[in-house]
Amino acid sequence: MEEDFKVKYVDVEKIKKDFPILNVKPHGKKLIYLDNAATTQKPIEVIKAMDKYYEELNANVYRSPHYLSALSTQAYEEARERVKKFINAKREESIIFTRNTTESINFIAYTWGMKYINEGDEIILTIAEHHSNMLPWQMVAEAKKARLKYVHLDENFRLSMKDFKEKMSDKVKLVAVQHMSNVLGIINPVEEITHIAHKYGAKVLIDGAQSVPHMLIDVQKIGCDFFAFSGHKMLGPMGIGVLYIKEDLLSDVPPFLRGGEMIDEVFEDRATFAPPPLKFEAGTPNVKGACVLVSAIDYIEKIGLSNIHNHEGELLEYGLQKMKELDFVKLYGPKDAKERGGLISFNVEGVHPHDVATILDEEGIAVRSGHHCCLPLMRYLGVPATVRASFYLYNDFDDIDALVEGLKKVRKWFK
């Protein structure tokens, strides 16, 4: 680590001690985990919370008057209230628990999308979208004979707001856009996008999978109609996700799944449904996941999202500087660290990304390689795949130095 760069915002050495998995030694080497955009590791508080739920609270929510069911129901609803505050939603009824971001987006596609998007309508996406925020809208467009329109990037790899404004019209019924790119790290101006879309009467869905773990989110300030994110990318367990539905749309969105718990009355030929959020959560929900997500939020807020964001910004600036010195490495995304989140996508000249990742793994360095569920973006960039190193609160400058040294070994192997 160079002297100009010092850890200022978080105590990484202390934080690392909270993550037992960082003691794993792949191939006998120290683990350097740089695949945080895919999933984050879990602090001991979160791991213990998983055990605590099954040891003390396990029961179906709402359905029984007994002691455990009452405790479980209380914890589940407290989790909903906690998430509401975390993203500054207006009402807790707007917080719907799902499995993940993908399910949340499909939820809106199959309910609101299939109900309100019609033949000749338009849906605006960006070329950098994750498949999870693309395929559901392809389905809706095909089923309803609507049209998909894609906003492209400018010369600096940022979303072209000029292109976006030119594509907006009264025909647009939905704008579905990621908050932060999982490949390029670009942070889209979602508040401005929402403001413009609403002028045309369009609804806005934000894929917040990559932004929620790293920056303060205020859905009221953004003004969006739908917002989706996943627990496993923010220190929480896999299998729990969140869908925010703006309060004035709760009655407009039909149920996604139908069955137990989401009903009011059921007759042989018809049914009426419970009020939100129950009408959106059919069957036994992931109560444990929601309760454990609270522990993840507590841990994040203990460190401070502003501190996490600033720390990642320093890691990104340092990483970009060090990797620019490697003339055999091509970087993708904005050159200015202030315009992106804490990840770097790159390729090594003449080496397939999977080979790069395999050699780095031999050094104990975990990165992602492939198309990152963004094939249209890969074609737009003119590459089949990239390598991605993504940072979080337990990474430090030494991890980046190890990555750089690992890339030098890759070059040596394939020179």
| Catalytic positions | 373
Q: Is 412 exposed, middle or buried (0-12, 13-18, 19+ CB in 10 A)?
A: exposed
At 412, the amino acid letter reads K
HEC-encoded secondary structure of the chain: CCCCCCCCCCCHHHHHCCCHHHHCCHHHCCCEECECCCCCCCCHHHHHHHHHHHHHCCCCCCCCCCHHHHHHHHHHHHHHHHHHHHCCCCCHHHEEEECCHHHHHHHHHHHHHHHHCCCCCEEEEECCCCHHHCHHHHHHHHHHCCEEEEECECCCCCECHHHHHHHCCCCEEEEEEECECCCCCEECCHHHHHHHHHHCCCEEEEECCCCCCCCCCCHHHHCCCEEEEECCCCCCCCCCEEEEECHHHCCCCCCCCCCCCCEEEECCCCEEECCCCHHHCCCCCCHHHHHHHHHHHHHHHHHCHHHHHHHHHHHHHHHHHHHHCCCCEEEECCCCHHHECCEEEEEECCCCHHHHHHHHHHCCEECEEECCCCHHHHHHHCCCCEEEEECCCCCCHHHHHHHHHHHHHHHHHHC
Whole-Å CA distances, 92 to 102, 223, 273, 277, 341: 21, 16, 18, 8, 29
- Whether omega before 136 lies within 30 degrees of 0, making that bond cis, reads no
